Amino acid sequence: MINGAQALMESLKREGVERVFGYAGATICPAVDALAATDIAYTLVRTEQNAGHMASGYARMMGKPGVCMVTSGPGATNLITGIATAYMDSIPMVAITGQVQSYLLGRDIFQEVDITGACAPFIKHSYLVKDANDIPRVVKEAFHIASTGRQGPVLIDIPIDIQQQMIDPVYPDSVDIRGYKPSVKGNDNQIKRVAASISAAQKPLLCVGGGLFSAKAQEELITLCESARIPVVTTMMGLGLLPRNHPLNLGMIGAFGTPTANRALNTTDLLIIAGARAADRAVTSPKEIASRTKTVHLDVDPAEIGKNFSTTVPVVGDVKVILDQLISHHPKAQSEAWIADLQARRQAETQPAAAPGAGSVTPSYLMRTLGEQLDDDACVCVDVGQNQIWAAKHLPMKHGRFLTTGGLGTMGYSLPASLGVKTAVPDRQTVVVCGDGSFQMFENELATLKAMGTDVKIVMVHNGVLGLVHQIQYSSYSGPFGVDLTGSPDFEKLAEAYGIPGKRISDDGQVDSAIHDMLTASGPYLLICDVDPMTTTSMT
């Protein structure tokens, strides 16, 4: 016989889990003890939220669930933001929380919270285990639910006495959940309608999002857009699906998107949305677009279809499978004139230029230079705020990944996500882009970075304010208030205290060589770039 915690670890191993991100506490100790006896690697974070973000970064690179494990009460509530972030970004994750003794549940004892109840609105599914014999089945189901259909986080809450309960575990080989059968293949008739619509279209447009990364459908996207002659725009979560210089890539749509991408969205005669919910940030007037043009929506989640966009032709299924089905019909649009016009407009878009001698780094130029110097397959983990918009607009993606939280927009995501990335793909060049506000939301994880001995470069856009709010307060409110980051430390010294070298620059003339020095340094590095706080995201 073994205890529930040992059965938990055996179940994780059977799901192929190689690493757990966690933070120990009293009620999760049996599971930590059982983990220590296995070859599953363990990363200690510095606050539980970041265990969620690390699992997210790991999952996005591995294409399988990341696992995080924390204690009950405050451990679990701290993890909530990590869970909600994964939910809004549709990232597969299995979160394990310790819980107080099952026979004491509901009595408000030390470090007890109803975490399955608290997470209900923003989690794909959750379990409160009340019998250790259920652990193997619950773990198998959790991984299945997290990684199939529309991916997302699943929570397993295990009371400490259940972790200690002695059992003879029975490990199931398969999963059968009668209420959970996600569609895989698209309806053939609908596919035919879509193919016919493409062939009849003169101004077709593919609008693609993070769902294509989840479905691992990048190759299918390239095949379809090239063979059917359909230009492509992306949401923020879809950045990097096509290299920036791909002739059919028009860039990102939305309030912070490229003029050409938004023009295409506003003039298309056939809009094909794939793996995207096209929420308010991406499309500000979905009703207007839907009233004017034919829309096709391809998504694994039937609830997305018709939610933000009314759709002429819906197709539900795995987007990779659907794109393959579409390709097999060899649709070809009559789109050469439209493509030529859009390509000319895209060419004419102004490229960010350096303004040396101004005493402030130009963010757009910084991002362009950074992108140009990065490896072709680099991973860029981008935080939230002005830094995110500058990076999204100006950092030229090649064949790497642009990892940010486009759904929940959680400040402090970038560094922990990058550490998850590094555990998944240790040899890929990995760079964090953040602001001085977001940096101070994750700076405790510099210790984790150091402890992991891994190589992550951090580029900080430093303007002494919470830039995006500062900008909105100027444009739409009575003026800046409560956004001045006075009291921030000397970041170079802070990094040095963690044994991380850094450099601070304040002029475009320094950008090129500073980025070169950062990227060629061995080990982690912090590059602080002073930016005028009055520089806004609408400037180039």
Binding positions for other proteins, rule: CB under 8 A: 116-117, 120-121, 124-125, 128, 145, 150, 177-180, 301-303, 306-307
* Cα–Cα distances in angstroms (integers) from residue 454 to residues 16, 174, 416, 439, 443, in the given order: 23, 37, 12, 18, 16
The candidate with the shortest Cα–Cα distance to 414, out of 56, 48, 75, is 56
- Considering the complex, what minimum distance in angstroms separates the CB of residue 126 from other proteins? 8
Whether the CB-CB separation of 494 and 450 falls below 8 Å is answered with no
DSSP element (H, E) containing 430: strand 430-435
- Considering the complex, what minimum distance in angstroms separates the CB of residue 183 from other proteins? 11
- Residue 240, Cα to own-chain centre: how many angstroms? 12
All residues at 6 or more sequence positions from 487 whose CB lies less than 8 Å from its CB, including other chains: none
The candidate with the shortest Cα–Cα distance to 500, out of 465, 524, 470, 482, is 524
In the complex with other proteins, the residue whose CB is nearer, 152 or 416, is 152
- Considering the complex, what minimum distance in angstroms separates the CB of residue 310 from other proteins? 8
In the complex with other proteins, the residue whose CB is nearer, 128 or 526, is 128
In the complex with other proteins, the residue whose CB is nearer, 64 or 124, is 124
- Considering the complex, what minimum distance in angstroms separates the CB of residue 302 from other proteins? 5
In the complex with other proteins, the residue whose CB is nearer, 144 or 470, is 144
- Considering the complex, what minimum distance in angstroms separates the CB of residue 441 from other proteins? 26
In the complex with other proteins, the residue whose CB is nearer, 179 or 357, is 179
- Considering the complex, what minimum distance in angstroms separates the CB of residue 326 from other proteins? 23
DSSP element (H, E) containing 44: strand 41-44
In the complex with other proteins, the residue whose CB is nearer, 186 or 331, is 186
Q: Where are any strands of DSSP class E within 279-424?
A: 294-299, 313-316, 379-382, 401-403
The C-alpha atoms of residue 382 and residue 89 are separated, in whole angstroms, by 14
Which tokens belong to 146? Answer: 């997290």
In the complex with other proteins, the residue whose CB is nearer, 294 or 307, is 307
Q: In this structure, what is the dihedral angle of CA atoms 191, 193, 196, 201, given to the nearest 10 degrees?
A: -110
- Considering the complex, what minimum distance in angstroms separates the CB of residue 87 from other proteins? 12
Whether the CB-CB separation of 86 and 55 falls below 8 Å is answered with yes
